[in-house]
């Protein structure tokens, strides 16, 4: 069949190509071996030795690492006693010598072959829905609470976490917390600890986080917050950040009293001998220099500075920006602003996993093929069956491409939404085929126009019905609603017009 590719079909082809690029990105990842580090506890020995989140371990000692099993076997039984054991971890870009009595405290996973992200339904973990105890949260308060909680999890070194403010159909606001690889007991413990922020100089507490001691923190003003400079170092690059905080009068007086008796640091004469140490739940999260100009001074304005490093300047810049934002959030909020209670807490089994995803999409493709066969026997046109098959398969690709582009986590409701939108798409394509077989007094162009108007009406009806699902169940059905809306929208804007053009050509031939 020779089809003249007008702009609608070209547009469909281009979108499919871009979707494939969004899903797979660099095709070399399909052949990449090793395991990727997904979590390293800040300030741990592993962190200090150079192990970082995102590094790919390709070799342990002399053993090549291709997957999780290889990594586990390489470390299993290696630390049988209390003697220090030497282990060499080779990554793609460096070699790290580990000398310890136990394995490094890191979490690794398989290298993702695509840019698709799976939710807890497929990856496993725990999920909690929480609310403030004895208080109804406003939308703004729920958003702020979600940011504080997410920041706390980041401080604890938990990377695979998703914290989102949600609202149910009754207008009540909650916060959903999802953590892959954690048990409900672990999650409950993390949530129940309200959090305590302290800034100490020596053994003296100067101020604590929150409104009591901190009047305000400069966040989105370039005149008092931002990345100051980036420089190259022996190991890569590092960037310095700086932002201003404003203390209450009482906290400023206490700061002046504590710094009054400090000496000038001999090695760094521009700073005092003690540092300003920031603690969260008694865990040191940062240690900052104190300018000698602040010694004994009652000042409500203090500049907080620090730096972060990276292999490239862009990585160092992003790391410094993220660390600055984390510190700003901690200083503004300190402890969690409310006593929390868990409305719902459950375990998400990982048994579904990748095999489940493969089974679902194979079943979907099998269903599409079966429909194409039925279409062939119904309309006696092989070309129409092939066109329907191609369009339906492309809708799956486009939906997954958009999910990859917007970093949407695919969970069970999302997959159900994909299947529902494909089913809706097949219905629409049958409408187009039926209209093409109708009255001979109408031109094929008029027939396609009628078909598309019917499809457009059905689209708006479905859209109105799906919008409430964005909030139903406090957001638990959001994945279904989002993917279904994406699916039916790309159908109306991209795939249906392309299919209609194909049918036009087939009928003319």
Q: Do the beta carbons of residue 425 and residue 368 sit within 8 Å?
A: no
pLDDT over 90 percentage in the chain: 1
| CATH superfamily, domain at 7-25+353-508 | Multidrug efflux transporter AcrB transmembrane domain (1.20.1640.10)
Q: Do the beta carbons of residue 111 and residue 71 sit within 8 Å?
A: no
Q: What is the pLDDT of residues 74-98, one digit of tens each?
A: 877 777 666 777 888 888 778 888 8
pLDDT over 70 percentage in the chain: 80
Q: What is the pTM of this model?
A: 0.56
- Cβ of 313: how many Cβ atoms within 10 Å? 15
pLDDT at 298 over 70: yes
Stated length of the chain: 509
Mean pLDDT is lowest, of 126-130, 184-188, 220-224, 342-346, for: 184-188
Mean pLDDT is lowest, of 152-161, 169-178, 449-458, for: 152-161
pLDDT for 189: 61
Q: Which residues of 432-470 are buried (b: 16+ CB within 10 A; e: fewer)?
A: bbebbeeeeeeebeebbebbbeebeebbeebeeebeebe
Q: In the numeric block, which tokens belong to residue 497?
A: 């017009």
Q: Which residue has the higher pLDDT, 287 or 495?
A: 495
pLDDT at 211 over 80: no
Q: What is the pLDDT of residues 394-408, one digit of tens each?
A: 888 898 888 888 877
pLDDT at 368 over 70: yes
CATH number of the domain at 29-110, please?
2.30.42.10
Q: In the numeric block, which tokens belong to residue 31?
A: 């052949």
Q: Do the beta carbons of residue 73 and residue 96 sit within 8 Å?
A: no
Fold of 125-194+339-348: Alpha-Beta Plaits (3.30.70)
Query: Distance between CA atoms of 322 and 313, rounded to whole angstroms?
Result: 14
Q: What is the pLDDT of residues 5-59, one digit of tens each?
A: 678 888 998 999 998 888 887 666 667 778 888 767 655 677 777 788 778 888 8
Residues 6+ apart with CB under 8 A from 36: 54, 55, 56, 57, 108, 109, 110, 111, 112
Q: In the numeric block, which tokens belong to residue 407?
A: 């970093």
Query: Where are the chain's structural domains?
Result: 7-25+353-508, 29-110, 125-194+339-348, 197-333
Which contacts (CB < 8 Å, 24+ apart) does range 231-237 have?
232/313, 233/309, 235/309, 236/309, 236/310, 236/311, 236/312, 236/315, 236/316, 237/309, 237/310, 237/311, 237/312, 237/313, 237/315, 237/316
Query: Distance between CA atoms of 346 and 205, rounded to whole angstroms?
Result: 39
Query: Distance between CA atoms of 313 and 164, rounded to whole angstroms?
Result: 31
């Amino acid at each position: 069949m020779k089809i003249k590719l007008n702009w609608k079909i070209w547009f469909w082809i281009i979108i499919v190509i871009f979707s494939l690029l969004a899903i797979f990105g660099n095709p070399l990842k399909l052949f990449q071996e090793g395991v990727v580090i997904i979590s390293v506890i800040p300030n741990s020995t592993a962190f200090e030795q150079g192990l970082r989140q995102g590094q790919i371990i390709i070799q342990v000692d002399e053993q090549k690492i291709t997957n999780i099993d290889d990594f586990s076997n390489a470390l299993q039984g290696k630390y049988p006693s209390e003697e220090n054991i030497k282990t060499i971890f080779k990554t793609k870009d460096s070699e790290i010598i580990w000398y310890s009595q136990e394995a490094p405290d890191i979490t690794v996973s398989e290298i993702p072959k695509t840019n698709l992200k799976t939710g807890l339904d497929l990856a496993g973990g725990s999920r909690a829905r929480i609310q403030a105890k004895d208080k109804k949260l406003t939308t703004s308060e729920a958003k702020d609470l979600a940011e504080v909680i997410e920041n706390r999890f980041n401080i604890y070194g938990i990377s695979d976490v998703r914290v989102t403010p949600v609202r149910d159909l009754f207008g009540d606001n909650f916060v959903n917390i999802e953590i892959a690889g954690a048990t409900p007991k672990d999650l409950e413990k993390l949530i129940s600890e309200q959090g305590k922020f302290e800034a100490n100089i020596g053994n003296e507490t100067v101020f604590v986080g929150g409104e009591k001691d901190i009047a305000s923190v400069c966040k989105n003003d370039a005149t008092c917050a931002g990345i100051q400079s980036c420089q190259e170092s022996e190991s890569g690059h590092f960037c310095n950040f700086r932002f201003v905080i404003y203390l209450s009068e009482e906290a400023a007086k206490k700061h002046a009293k504590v710094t009054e008796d400090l000496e000038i640091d001999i090695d760094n004469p521009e700073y005092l001998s003690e540092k300003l140490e920031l603690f969260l739940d008694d865990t040191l999260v940062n240690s900052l220099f104190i300018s000698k100009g602040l010694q004994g001074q009652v000042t409500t304005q203090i500049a907080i500075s620090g730096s972060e490093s990276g292999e490239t300047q862009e990585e160092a810049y992003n790391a410094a920006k993220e660390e600055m934002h984390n510190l700003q959030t901690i200083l503004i909020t300190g402890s969690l602003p409310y006593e929390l209670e868990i409305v719902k807490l459950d375990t998400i089994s990982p048994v579904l996993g990748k095999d489940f995803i493969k089974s679902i999409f194979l079943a979907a493709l099998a269903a599409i093929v079966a429909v194409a066969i039925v279409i062939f026997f119904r309309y006696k046109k092989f070309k129409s069956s092939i066109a329907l098959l191609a369009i339906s398969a492309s809708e799956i690709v486009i939906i997954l491409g958009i999910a990859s582009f917007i970093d949407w986590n695919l969970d069970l409701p999302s997959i159900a939404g994909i299947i529902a939108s494909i089913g809706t798409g097949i219905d629409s394509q049958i409408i187009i085929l039926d209209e093409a077989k109708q009255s001979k007094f109408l031109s094929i162009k008029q027939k396609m126009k009628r078909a598309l108007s019917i499809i457009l009406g059905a689209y708006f009806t479905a859209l109105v019905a799906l919008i409430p699902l964005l909030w139903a169940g406090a957001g638990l059905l959001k994945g279904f609603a989002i993917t279904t809306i994406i699916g039916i929208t790309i159908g109306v804007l991209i795939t249906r017009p392309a299919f209609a053009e194909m049918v036009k050509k087939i009928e003319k031939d």
